[in-house]
A and B are shown apart, each in its own frame.
Chain A
Amino acid sequence: MGIGCAAHRKPQPARTGRRRRTEGFPVIFIQDPPVGGGYTAAMIAPPEPSPWHEARAGAVAILPAAVAVVPFALLLGALAAEKGLSPLEVALMSALVFAGSSQFVALDLWTTPAAWVTLGSAALLVNLRHILMGASIAPKMAGFHPIARVLALLLLADEIWAMAERRAAARPLTAAYFFGLGGLLYVNWVLFTTAGAVVGARFGDPAAYGFDFAFTAIFIGLIAGFRHTRGFLPTVAAAALAAVATQAVLPGPVSIAVGAAAGVAVAAILPPRREAAA
């Protein structure tokens, strides 16, 4: 629409009807009715967008990952059913563990009866990267209530964490945004892994449709978002090469930890930024 659009120059009818009721009342009564009173946190920081908006923005941001994860959730449920797990056990595992890669690894190692030491150790190894992720994202949760911070960290997953980092790079991260991210993916994961266990049928290999590559693509897009940070290329190159080299010697999740450590080490060794000297 052009600025000189004739329709815009038409005199607008005066909108008086809806305002009359509030005339003479203090403005504060219109914005914060004293009867509501539930949103003290929002009142402390008035310039921030509403929690509802933040939560919705988080849910929208995680939506591509939530959709891409459905075939894998169904597959995981079906695999678990094949290993003899009941839908209740699958639901419990997804709800309490909520870590796709470690759940796939666990099912790969699953024996009957289940060996809890082996499976617990495998989960620990696969999720070592969470320590780095948590250490990186926790300081960006300064505005969270302490309980909300703990709950948010319990929802830490690759996609959620990456989206939260991306958000934190642009503006302050809010608890509502984080729970928007995490809530959708969590419900989605528990629901569809359980559905997979109930149906138990064979789903086609998600790789056949390129679905597995959705995760790689999401992560490539997110990596590209960090390309303006200092030492970006050496960091990514070191992490990738170390991960591939480790994978060749010791296949499995160890490569993630080793690769990440290599990238972080290179970033630390590179000459510090100029402003730091001041």
Chain B
Amino acid sequence: MSLDPATLAAILAMAAATIFTRLAGLVMPASALRHPRARAAFEAVPAAVLAALIAPTVLATGWPETVAALLTALAALRLPLLAVVAVGVVAAALLRAVAG
């Protein structure tokens, strides 16, 4: 079990960066959320971040991913999350196999 000083420094730098980004939300003043537009913006954060996170995979990888995402979205309107995940994984695997 070795612990290289340069590796340790890199890990600590990465940790510092993630601690900063994770705690930065705490210092947002509560008053900033009182304005209706600010509130609308904050309510939109979850969907916006998640959409930005998956968009390159869904829209710019290939047709199997796009179609699988469409099927997953349809499933999400009706089914519980675990079933939605199952639909997505199976659809992606099958469609990728079809695409070769």
Contacts and interface: CB of A to CB of B under 8 A. Distances in A.
A3 to B, nearest CB: 28
Interface string B23-39: 11110101001001111
Interface in B13-47: 13-26, 28, 30, 33, 36-47
Instruction: Bin chain B's interface residue count.
Output: 35 or more
B9 A263 contact: no
A-side interface mostly: helix
A79 interface: no
Interface in A188-209: 209
B48 A236 contact: yes
B18 A99 contact: yes
A129 B88 contact: no
A103 B30 CA distance: 32
A89 B41 contact: no
A222 B50 CA distance: 8
A210 B10 contact: no
Interface in A92-106: 92-93, 96-99, 102-103, 106
Given A97-B18, A165-B46, A220 B41 contact: no
B13 A120 contact: yes
B80 to A, nearest CB: 9
Contacts of B16: 120
B52 A260 contact: yes
A57 interface: no
B60 A114 contact: no
B99 interface: no
B38 to A, nearest CB: 7
A27 to B, nearest CB: 38
Nearest to A103: B14
Nearest to A65: B85
A116 B16 CA distance: 11
A34 B45 CA distance: 45
Contacts of A102: 14, 17-18
Query: Which of A117, A122, A134 has the most chain B CB atoms inside 10 A of its CB?
Result: A134
Given A86-B3, A103-B14, A134-B25, 12 more contacts: A129-B52, A136-B25, A165-B46, A212-B92, A216-B54, A217-B92, A220-B69, A221-B84, A241-B55, A262-B48, A263-B52, A268-B38
9 contacts: A102-B17, A119-B13, A120-B16, A134-B24, A137-B25, A139-B33, A218-B85, A236-B47, A259-B48
